A and B are shown apart, each in its own frame.
Chain A
Amino acid sequence: MTKDFSIIGKRIAMVDAAGKTSGAGKYTDDLSLPGMLVGKILHSPYPHARMKRIDTTRAEKLDGVVAVATGKDAPNTYGILPVGHDERALAVDKVRYVGDNVACVAALDEATADRALELIDVEYELLPAYFDPEKAMKAETDLIHDNKPHNIEKDYHHVFGDPEKGFAEADHVAEARFIANEVTHAAMEPHSTLAALEIDSQTGKPGRLTVWSSTQVPYYLQHKLSLVLEMPMSQIRVIKPLVGGGFGGKSEVIPLEIIAAIAARKTRAPVKITYTREEVFWAHRGRPRTIIDLKTGVKNDGRITAVKARVVQDGGAYCSYGVVTILYSGALLGALYDIPNIQYDGYRVLTNKPACGAMRGHGTVNVRFAFESQLDELAAKLEVDPAVIRRRNLLQPPCVTINGLRVQSYGLPECIDRVVERSGWKHRKGKLTRGRGLGIACSHYVSGAANSIIRSDMPHSTVNIKIDRDGGVVVYTGAAEIGQGSDTMTAQIAAEVLGCSLSRVKVVAADTDLTPIDIGSYSSRVTFMAGNATLRAAEEVKKQIALAAAKKMNCAVEELVFRDDGVFNSKSINVGAGVPPVQAPGGDERGRSSPHRSQDQASVSGRVEGQILRGSLQQQRNEEGPKDFMTFEEAVVAAIDFHGALAGTGSYAPPPEARGGKFKGAGVGPSPAYSYSAQVAEVTVDEDTGEVIVHKVWAAHDCGRALNPVSVEGQIIGSVWMGMGQALTEEMVWKDGLLMNPGLLEYRSPSSVESPEVEPIIVESIDPEGPFGAKECSEGSLAATIPAIANAIYDAVGIRLREAPFTPERVLAALRAKKNAKLLDLTEGIDPTAPERFREHGGALWFKGKGPERHASDPARRTEQA
């Protein structure tokens, strides 16, 4: 393969950028249909209760209400994992968290629907609720799900090597408890679904269902809709419009998606449901609060001898991705460093809070925070440079780790070197002014799971390509663009293989009627898997074109080179040096040319104005006799004339060698390739206020090959930034199962003034199996940021923070503990029943007087009493 690409590796704007910057692009909530109704969901105000009676008659009678759906309209259970079918779209017998779904009103407008919700009478019998996983695990009665004793969703106990022996051999052992509090995706687009049934023109009965939804997983949505509605999948079409960010929050079927379809079926009209921001927080599926008891043993030289982790995750009321999350937490202890002995005990526990699920860095982030912090602690004890201790524990790839993970490309050493160099680590670490410090940490992530959720031999991605006579390339892919650049990646790969310009390629994506199955955008699988499928589909079409072109050009297929919108005979034309004989000026005005491109590159990515040139060119060429060059269009026409049609298919399934070991739970963790990240964070800590400021993060990420550096850098920065949010400010605060901060301000997603400069550094290890060597770049960097900041805080003021986020309260507490000073109670005198921190409100439920009782000095309560 030639190293010299024409489209791969170039800084280009995303192919759908103009739609986003002009406001023309449509997200689900931007869509409407004639006769469309608005759906509103009634949520449970109680964390755990039996529903004794539900009466919707008063609501149904309200003018403007078309129908009210309840649990009995579609009682089948579902869940994203085949082992976790424990959810119902609308509750039938029990509600399990504040926010659980009880009924849905479909009405002519939102105000009417809202009023109708108040008229639904539900009688609840309250049950004892569990909010703390360690208490929930001890429960004998009033279980959240009857078939889950002790409220344990799943526990795994893995031993690799001989951990006891490993600890015995260690010169130093560190042991501590780490806690990472609950965080959520908070994608800017609230979930939205529009569902419509076609009315069969002959029978008048509702027929096919079409669902437009903000989803990362159109295929799984189609599958679950089919299960719950008892309709064949072929009768359901799922279309994914633009999605305003996912981060895992849209990577499973969210209740509103099914509820909208139920309501559409019941009303025989299109129904749209869009969550309020508060409902998004209730739907949640984010990263669970995680308690990690971690023990690490090292030799005097820093070599790790053994690791033992006990992990408890507060999973919320339903399984969701929980079984996978708890497995990732253990499995990805491996594949970053060489650890000879590992013991892992993981518990996924049910509690009466919204379900947790997959979030960027799924399962790995919190354990990585603990591990990298502990490694830093050990380095300090051994007086070894924290960058050096990481280098002493590198894997020697290609290899298979002790827990069965195959590692081929491994850019970690280079990542460490690059951040050490860029941050001035060697001369600045430990030498900054008081209160200022540097910290280092590493992380990694899968490039897609080698085993799909639904175990089968089905390929994980399939892509079809069709080319028309005028040289227009259409790529059909089920991969879901959610802002990460999936469509652009697809177009780039197709264009690179076919040697045509990017503007020729149109991507049709994520419409289950049109596009072949792709299991979706999660676990950072799209570039690797859908990318490989695109590559293969394009290769197949290229073969057909080559066959016809070779005939015309009187040469062997192998002598042909596809490039610059043409097909060359490499024997007679020196491709790369020579300019194609045909070159029409004129730019690609679709916003795809980029300021980074030199003039040369601009002309390279082919600007043959096909429509105008076709006729005259063809004629000219026909007269010319034997050729050593054909334009892309001529070659396409030749191929269509020769084969009758021009289409190709490619698919990707991970190779068996990459699918991991045989033990129970071995299916989660294996990936065809892992990305690597090393980061250095620079912080200051204000010892009076406890405030931590991150000044800069240097983040090196091994993405295999950067197909589009602008996007890769954007993903690295975005991951680091989100990690910083979890490290410093973001936290879901609960009180008796009620979320105290269900809004973006109180949740404290960082704004531009709170965001540090991030210097992304791309490291390319060229993976042997990735498309053009590419691996994932969207998740792996997140996990390292949290411990890098924690370690920088230690460097700055000498305190170890073992609970994230590192809020001023926690920092101050640790600083005072270090000085043996009395703990400050910051919430003193405010509200004795409040969580550690005072919060402004508990959202709409509290506002409506349905939340936990207000504190006596709460002004709102005083007015109530007055």
Chain B
Amino acid sequence: MKKELIELQINGRSYELAIEPSKLLLDTLRQDLQLTGSKRGCDDSSCGACTVLEDGIPMLSCTMLAASCEGQEITTIEGVSEHGSLAAIQKAYGDWGGAQCGFCTPGFIMTVKHLLAENPEPTEDEIRNALSGNLCRCTGYSQMYQAIKAAIDAEQKGSAAVSAAR
């Protein structure tokens, strides 16, 4: 298949790429842009390891054509860290055992980012429902809930500190 030129907005940068129109966003990220943080865990859109945010909405990048993402802002796990250091949710996942082998972690973190953006104080049931599209085979999910709660606390403390400083 002939390649075509497309332009993608990823993590705040724009990239011009020549790719086949049939190429998936996941493969484009991993192979053409070396953004290998998004993972492929399945053949049938069942695992969520490839989750990215498209204009803030979590999407399975293995189900989207890269060419169809022109004009949207894509955020991958590589775009989550803030100012070169871990975001609260990333740190919390490490501290609380939310990541064991870590293969599912990028997908989960993208999902959680969206959850917290929509609903800053989710109940445990809401967390469970939000995470149910992502599979993890190591953790049994429990420690992820602790991590998410810790991240919420850290964010709140952080913003409290910011407003106190003002």
Contacts and interface: CB of A to CB of B under 8 A. Distances in A.
A729 B134 CA distance: 17
A15 to B, nearest CB: 10
Contacts of B85: 589
B43 A743 contact: yes
Interface in B82-117: 85-86, 90-106, 109
Interface string B126-166: 01110111111111111110000010000000000000000
B24 to A, nearest CB: 11
Majority secondary structure, A binding face = loop
A25 interface: yes
Contact of B49 (A16, A188, A710): A188
Interface string B24-63: 0000001100111111111110110100000000000000
Given A22-B86, A745-B46, A483 B94 contact: no
Contacts of B103: 27, 187-189, 242, 244-245, 483
A710 B97 contact: yes
B67 to A, nearest CB: 16
A758 B140 contact: yes
Contacts of A17: 93-95, 99, 102
B119 interface: no
Given A22-B81, A186-B137, A752 B132 contact: yes
Contacts of B135: 188, 744, 749, 751
Given A188-B47, A752-B141, A23 B37 contact: yes
Contacts of B35: 23
B93 A22 contact: no
A717 B100 CA distance: 12
Interface string A328-343: 0000000000000000
Nearest to B110: A23
A813 B15 CA distance: 59
B140 to A, nearest CB: 3
Nearest to B36: A30
Interface string A230-270: 00000000000011111100000000000000000000000
Say which size band chain B's interface belongs to: 35 or more
Contacts of A22: 37, 77-78, 80-81, 86, 90
A574 interface: no
A698 interface: no
A483 B143 CA distance: 14
Contact of B42 (A16, A243, A744, A751): A744
Interface string A459-503: 000000000000000000000001111000000000000000000
Given A22-B81, A244-B103, A721-B140, A594 B30 contact: no
A753 B128 contact: yes
Interface in A681-724: 710-711, 713-714, 717-718, 720-722
Interface in A18-32: 18-27, 29-30, 32
Nearest to B140: A721
Contacts of B38: 23
Nearest to B49: A188
A622 B81 CA distance: 44
Interface residues of A, number: 61
B91 A591 contact: yes
Contact of B78 (A23, A186, A278, A482): A23
Nearest to B107: A188
A19 B105 CA distance: 10
A751 B132 contact: yes
Given A17-B93, A19-B102, A23-B76, A591 B86 contact: yes
A190 interface: yes
A591 B94 contact: yes
B97 A21 contact: no
Nearest to A247: B137
A278 B143 CA distance: 29
Contacts of B139: 714, 717-718, 721
B138 A483 contact: yes
Contacts of B41: 188-190, 244, 277, 744
A341 to B, nearest CB: 38
Contacts of B150: 595
Given A23-B106, A244-B101, A718-B100, A277 B43 contact: yes
B95 A594 contact: yes
Interface centre among B42, B100, B127 (most CB of A within 10 A): B100
B137 A188 contact: yes
Nearest to A31: B36
B113 to A, nearest CB: 12
A187 to B, nearest CB: 6
Nearest to B147: A21
Given A21-B86, A758-B140, A714 B100 contact: yes
Contact of B39 (A27, A185, A744): A27
Given A23-B37, A718-B140, A245 B101 contact: yes
B69 to A, nearest CB: 18
A597 to B, nearest CB: 10
A744 B46 contact: yes
Interface of B: 30-31, 34-44, 46-47, 49, 76-78, 80-81, 85-86, 90-106, 109, 127-129, 131-144, 150
13 contacts: A22-B37, A22-B90, A29-B36, A188-B137, A189-B41, A244-B39, A595-B92, A710-B97, A713-B143, A721-B141, A721-B142, A722-B140, A753-B132
